[in-house]
A = this chain, B = another copy of it.
Amino acid sequence: MTALQKFKEIENKITQYNEALGVIYWDLRTGAPRSGMERRSEVIGTLSSEMFKLSTSDELGKVLTELESEDIFATLSDMDQRLVKEARVEYDRSVKIPAEEYKKYVILTSNSENKWEECKGNNDFDGFKPYLEQIIEMQQKFIDYWGVKETRYDTLLDQYEPGMTVAMLDEIFEQLKQKLVPLAQKIAEHQYKPETSFLKNEFDIAAQKEFSLYILKQMGFKFDAGRLDESVHPFATGLNPGDVRITTRYLKDDVTSALFGTIHEGGHAMYEQNIMKELIGTSLCTGTSMGIHESQSRFWENIIGRSRQFWNCNYEKLQTLFPQFKDISVDTFFRGNNVVNPQLIRIEADELTYNLHIIIRYEIEKMIFNEGLKVEDLPKVWNEKYEQYLGVKPQTYSEGVLQDVHWAGGAFGYFPSYSLGNMYAAQILNTLEQEMPDFWNKVEQGQLHEIRDWLIERIYKYGKMRKPNELILNITKEPLNPNYLSQYLTKKYTEIYKLNN
């Protein structure tokens, strides 16, 4: 067997373990019986550590070194070269963590996520605190193992958005704040407010489900390569490109929550469903970064799903399913779904203030890892920042520092991806509008498949073959530029709030 064959065999096996784990995680979040979860965590621990052994094996290190030797590397295909480079990054990241510590970490985060769910339900920060402390302690150790980049937090950031740094984010978020804070203020002070009372009502769950499926079909979600289920916290998971699953949550008193959640996860899913088959069984068979992934969920959810054109197309269908809206015009419905409302919960935030929720988390994570902020001080800092940026103050832990699962899973450095996603999405929209002049017509006609196909060709099919900055440069001919997001939001809310009137 050649080094290349051996290398691919190991990569293949790693992705197989990853797929098995993916099925188990999906199962845990979509209705696995509670009493079996403790044992299931141990199964996860064992499979993860087997996968970890493969990912850190001397054998993999050896074939990688062999393949990286100048004379062999030059003979590899473009794909194989990418694969070797990517594998090297992941190998170096994994091999530095002692196997026992890794297993301990996996079990810790799995238990911690279950604990978080319980503690959030009981508003119990003290119950969750020891878990969070342990996770941060282990992450700090991992940073030492991996090596500190410009700052400690840079090391975490780079996992989710390769190439992104604290220095760059500080600047980008600063630019964003300078535009968005005054815009939010202008809106808050403006006299006109869209009507929203009609959104408060009772909505049949079966009809909500039907509408979700209807829109997914319009988007081009492939149902023979995916499924829609329910879970408390909606998510998307790509087991392989032929099996990409999303979940949503139907609320009796809110018709749009499940819908926008479904579109959001559908955007993630369509990315994973359309990665080229050649990448199956390799570490390149996933989205290139969390930021680019979020750009797709947000592009579909916000830019398309919350647009006037989208509702011009789909409002009649909605009215058929929900006669409550019979006397509400599409214009009223569209505006009502785009209200700017600074409040406590990130996942309920509007497109504009959402970025402020992210900036708060980014600043706190930096404080934890770069300045040694203690877990016990988190609620205080959290509440202060919410007052400062959004003018609201949490009354409970559940609506404050306990609201997100991310930290319970150890995903420090992840949050910025959401705002990066918003920025990428707005920048990609700008290119799309130029290259596809009838873009908004297509949305209005429900020809979303054609937009999906454009995204497949520019983004989805490549998986991890192209790095995020490379991808954005290729598509838009310039690096990430936060001005597109501010321009998009300014234009959108100027219309919705009639700011020019």
Nearest-neighbor residue (CB-CB) of A239 within chain B: B36
Q: How far is the CA of A79 from the CA of B46 in the complex (A)?
A: 24
Inter-chain contact A39/B227, CB cutoff 8 Å: no
Inter-chain contact A226/B33, CB cutoff 8 Å: yes
* In-complex Cβ contact of A39 among B13, B17, B47, B242 (8 A): B242
A-side interface mostly: helix
Collect the chain B residues with CB atoms within 8 Å of residue A225's CB: 33-36
Q: A46-B13, A46-B16, A243-B33 are in contact. Are A39 and B222 (CB under 8 A)?
A: no
Nearest-neighbor residue (CB-CB) of A22 within chain B: B43
Inter-chain contact B239/A35, CB cutoff 8 Å: no
Q: How far is the CA of A19 from the CA of B38 in the complex (A)?
A: 13
State the oligomeric state as a number of copies. Answer: 2
Tell me how far the C-beta of A27 lies from the nearest C-beta in chain B, rounded to whole angstroms: 6
Nearest-neighbor residue (CB-CB) of A39 within chain B: B240
Inter-chain contact B222/A35, CB cutoff 8 Å: yes
Tell me how far the C-beta of A487 lies from the nearest C-beta in chain B, rounded to whole angstroms: 39
Interface residues on A, range: 35 or more
Inter-chain contact B16/A20, CB cutoff 8 Å: no
Contact with B along A15-43 (1 / 0, CB 8 A): 01101100110010001111111111011
Inter-chain contact A20/B35, CB cutoff 8 Å: no
Collect the chain B residues with CB atoms within 8 Å of residue A47's CB: 16, 20
Collect the chain B residues with CB atoms within 8 Å of residue A223's CB: 33
Collect the chain B residues with CB atoms within 8 Å of residue A33's CB: 223-227, 242-245
Q: A20-B43, A42-B16, A50-B50 are in contact. Are A35 and B227 (CB under 8 A)?
A: no
Tell me how far the C-beta of A379 lies from the nearest C-beta in chain B, rounded to whole angstroms: 32
Q: Apart from A16-B46, A23-B24, what are 10 other A-B pairs with CB-CB below 8 Å?
A: A16-B47, A23-B23, A27-B27, A33-B223, A33-B225, A33-B243, A33-B245, A34-B224, A35-B225, A39-B280
